[in-house]
Amino acid sequence: MARLKFLCDANRCIDCNACVTACKNEHDVPWGINRRRVVTINDGKPGERSVSMACMHCTNAPCAAVCPVDCFHATDDGLVLHSKEICIGCGYCFYACPFGAPQFPQATNFGSRGKMDKCTYCAGGPDADLSEAEYVRYGSNRLAEGKLPLCAEMCSTKALLAGDGEIIAQIYKERVVTRGYGSGAWGWKTAYGETITVT
Amino acid sequence: MTHGLNRIRALVVMIALAVACLPAMTGPAGAQEAGAQAVNPTAMSVQADDLLQQEGKLQGYLAQPDPKLAVLEQPQGRQWRVFHESWLPWGAGILILAVVLLLGGVYLVKGPIQADEVSGIKILRFNVFERFTHWLTAVSFIILALSGINYIFGKRYLMPLIGPDAFGTLSQWGKYAHNYLAWPFMLGVLFMIVVWVKDNFPKRGVDWAWLKAGGGVFNNTHPSAGRFNAGQKLIFWWVALAGIVMSVTGIMLLFPFAAFGVNGMQITQVVHSVVGFLFIAVIIFHIYIGTLGMEGAYDAMGSGEVDVAWARAHHDLWVEEQLRR
């Protein structure tokens, strides 16, 4: 069974934000919610790097651990999905998440933030695959259609990779060997407890 | 001819301008070179893991207008998780169980503190507004406490009993209750401070003697006390201070990211939950003393009137003061 992961090659990311836009469009994400975003480190300075970040679908996910209603579940592919029917919008997952992935439709209003929304790896949620209810709550389910996440699929520089963790790690290793450098697999140590070492 | 002259003149002016600009251009360029020696600009220089280790967290520039999302990676979430999923449930569980067991033991071994004698004459101890303030705070506190406990222990003990869907619905209502009943609670704490602060300043001699005698619980005496004895004063000051801490941190949690970033929110939640459980432990003790633990005590907050003999035994200085009027 594949272990699906994301990997952003920061030496390729050009901060075009197309992944962000594609995600918003594909899933009809409401205004103000950013399932994926691009953060630029050292902006305008030497050593500037841009990293596209969304839910990393962590191993032993912190969001799932701290959820007071246990609305998260891990799929066989290692994805971390959640049920908006059970979610109470307490915001704990955002405090625990290392990557700022959980999003809420309302920021304040006496803490009524609405149901948490985050990257589903284009895999929908606990509702029936490709159903209307699933689309409304979680967006489209490309995985059920046999496709990979749209953000990575349409990335113009192929900086963002999605797929079986071992395969994308291999692609990244080959790139690092070929070009002679690489800034590393951003967030992998935190998310999966491992890094990609190129020897 | 004049045309050609003009051209040469224009060229001369341009060269002169360019020369004049040279120092201005080399200035910043020179500075950049000096700066570049401190930072290695080559493609190999930036390593994700090194950056994270240096800074403790990663943050940068973000196109979206949401500063909290500019944090790329914050490993402090892990510490918060450890607090929230092991220290807090274990600490709070042991604390609450210990208090309940202790009071249960005291009740079984020693039994309630008896009301010594009954005179049949009543004296007003708490007026309508004082009782309203007490019960406003008390009722909202109990619901806040139960819904707060649910955040930590619900998924561990309640969810296996009633199933995830029913538990999700219940917790959703619990969260609404927690968010909205916070306001009457804060109002109640405020009223309490206003109406009772004057009777709760420590009184030289009396309070210390009361505390040294352990409130008279162990040798069945009644050390002197004013309107509130030293134990009640401690409860008052605890409720006032913890109430303010809970209110301030609670408002921070109700309006997330208004004042703090994500790490500040984590610390706020830690303070809110730790003080919250200490608050619950103190209030369990308070409820025990006010109901099961002492005969005659409940009337003070129930009807507002207590027996003069009971009052004379427990709050002698206050009764004297009342009768002098």
Q: What is the mean pLDDT of residues A37-65?
A: 93
Q: What is the mean pLDDT of residues B289-303?
A: 88
Q: What is the mean pLDDT of residues B285-292?
A: 93
What pLDDT was estimated at residue B189? 97
Q: Which of B41, B37, B73 is nearest to B55 (CA)?
A: B73
Tell me, yes or no, if A140 comes closer than 8 A to chain B by beta carbon. Answer: no
Residue B113 lies in a domain: no
Q: How confident is the model at residue B11 (pLDDT cuts 50, 70, 90)?
A: low
Residue A172 lies in a domain: yes
- Report the distance separating Cα B33 and Cα B213, nearest Å: 77
Residue A197 lies in a domain: no
Domain that holds residue B188: 125-324
What pLDDT was estimated at residue B165? 87
Do B154 and B173 touch, CB atoms closer than 8 A? no
Do B158 and B150 touch, CB atoms closer than 8 A? yes
Percentage of chain B beyond pLDDT 70 is: 86
CATH number of the domain that B243 lies in? 1.20.950.20
CA distance from start to end of chain B: 118
Q: How many Å separate Cα B110 from the centre of its chain?
A: 35
Yes or no, beta carbons of A34 and B180 under 8 Å apart: no
Q: Which of B208, B242, B241 is nearest to B225 (CA)?
A: B208
Q: Which of A68, A62, A87, A98 is nearest to B273 (CA)?
A: A68
Residue B82 lies in a domain: no
ipTM of predicted complex: 0.88
Tell me, yes or no, if A72 comes closer than 8 A to chain B by beta carbon. Answer: no
Yes or no, beta carbons of A39 and B69 under 8 Å apart: yes
Among chain A residues, CA nearest to B33 = A46
| Chain A residues inside the 8 Å CB shell of B70 | 39
- Report the distance separating Cα A102 and Cα A104, nearest Å: 7
Yes or no, beta carbons of A100 and B171 under 8 Å apart: no
| pLDDT, mean over chain B | 86
pLDDT at B159 over 70: yes
CA distances from B89 to A106, A146, B78, B147 (A): 29, 42, 16, 15
Q: How confident is the model at residue B50 (pLDDT cuts 50, 70, 90)?
A: confident
DSSP chain A: ---EEEEE-TTT-----HHHHHHHHHHTPPTT--SSEEEEETTTSTT-EEEEE-----TT-HHHHH-TT--EEE-TTS-EEE-TTT-----HHHHH-TT---B-S-S-STT---S-B---TTB--SSPTT-HHHHHHH--BTTTTT---HHHHT-TTS-EEEEEHHHHHHHHHHHHHHHS-----TTHHHHHS------
**pLDDT tens digits, one per residue of B64-112:** 888 888 999 998 888 999 999 999 999 999 999 999 999 999 999 988 8
* DSSP conformational letter for B44: T
- Report the distance separating Cα A66 and Cα A62, nearest Å: 6
Chain A / chain B CB contacts < 8 angstroms: 173
Domain that holds residue A59: 4-192
Q: Which of B71, B78, B179 sits opposite A100 (nearest CB)?
A: B71
The pair of structure tokens assigned to A52 is 């596209």
Query: What's the pTM?
Result: 0.85
Q: How confident is the model at residue B295 (pLDDT cuts 50, 70, 90)?
A: confident
Residue B194 lies in a domain: yes
Do B119 and B308 touch, CB atoms closer than 8 A? yes
pLDDT at A108 over 80: no
What pLDDT was estimated at residue B55? 76
Residue B207 lies in a domain: yes
pLDDT at B39 over 80: no
Tell me, yes or no, if A46 comes closer than 8 A to chain B by beta carbon. Answer: yes
Measured over the CA atoms of residue A185, residue A72, residue B81 and residue A88, the dihedral's sign is positive
**pLDDT tens digits, one per residue of B240-281:** 999 999 999 999 998 888 889 899 999 999 999 999 999 999
Task: Count the neighbouring beta carbons within 10 Å of the beta carbon of residue A115.
Answer: 17
Which helix (H) or strand (E) segment holds residue B73: the answer is strand B71-73
Cβ partners under 8 Å of residue A46, min gap 6: B35, B36, B39, B40, B41, B45
Q: Which of A53, A88, A185 sits opposite B172 (nearest CB)?
A: A88
Residue B23 lies in a domain: no
Q: What angle do CA A189, A82, A140 make, to 5 degrees?
A: 100
Q: Which of B37, B42, B68, B73 to mutate to test the interface with A (most CBs of A within 10 A)?
A: B73
- Report the distance separating Cα B174 and Cα B117, nearest Å: 44
Q: What b-and-e string marks burial along A11-36, b requiring 16 or more CB atoms within 10 Å of the CB?
A: bbbebebbbbebbbebbebeeebbbb
Do B3 and B9 touch, CB atoms closer than 8 A? no
Which amino acid is it at B193?
A: I
Tell me, yes or no, if A13 comes closer than 8 A to chain B by beta carbon. Answer: no
A residues 48..67 contacting B (CB < 8 A)? 49, 51, 53, 62, 65-67
Yes or no, beta carbons of A38 and B171 under 8 Å apart: no
What pLDDT was estimated at residue A198? 79
- Report the distance separating Cα B143 and Cα A140, nearest Å: 40
Task: Count the neighbouring beta carbons within 10 Å of the beta carbon of residue B2.
Answer: 6
Q: Which of B44, B62, B257 sits opposite A107 (nearest CB)?
A: B257
**pLDDT tens digits, one per residue of A158-172:** 999 999 999 999 999
Q: How confident is the model at residue B34 (pLDDT cuts 50, 70, 90)?
A: very low
A residues 141..180 contacting B (CB < 8 A)? 180
CA distances from B209 to B202, B205, B206, B214, B236 (A): 12, 6, 5, 9, 19
**pLDDT tens digits, one per residue of A22-33:** 999 999 998 889
Task: Output A132 or B17, whichever has higher pLDDT.
Answer: A132
pLDDT at B45 over 80: no
Q: How confident is the model at residue B48 (pLDDT cuts 50, 70, 90)?
A: confident
Q: Which of B53, B4, B284, B51 is nearest to B146 (CA)?
A: B284
- Report the distance separating Cα B135 and Cα B137, nearest Å: 5
Task: Count the neighbouring beta carbons within 10 Å of the beta carbon of residue A79.
Answer: 20
Residue A81 — φ and ψ, nearest 5°? -115, 165
Q: Which of B48, B84, B164 sits opposite A66 (nearest CB)?
A: B84
**pLDDT tens digits, one per residue of A52-76:** 999 999 999 999 999 999 999 999 9
Domain count, chain A: 1
Q: How confident is the model at residue B137 (pLDDT cuts 50, 70, 90)?
A: very high
Task: Output B222 or A165, whichever has higher pLDDT.
Answer: A165
What pLDDT was estimated at residue A110? 53
- Report the distance separating Cα A186 and Cα B190, nearest Å: 49
pLDDT at B177 over 90: yes
What pLDDT was estimated at residue B42? 62
What pLDDT was estimated at residue B12? 58
**pLDDT tens digits, one per residue of B52-73:** 887 778 888 888 888 888 999 9
Which amino acid is it at A33?
A: I
Q: Which of A114, A96, A104 is nearest to A191 (CA)?
A: A96
Query: How far does A98 lie from chain B, in Å, by closest CA?
Result: 5
pLDDT at B25 over 50: no
CATH number of the domain that A82 lies in? 3.30.70.20
Q: How confident is the model at residue B36 (pLDDT cuts 50, 70, 90)?
A: very low
**pLDDT tens digits, one per residue of B181-191:** 999 999 999 99
Residue A95 lies in a domain: yes
Domain count, chain B: 1
Measured over the CA atoms of residue B192, residue B193, residue B199 and residue B201, the dihedral's sign is positive
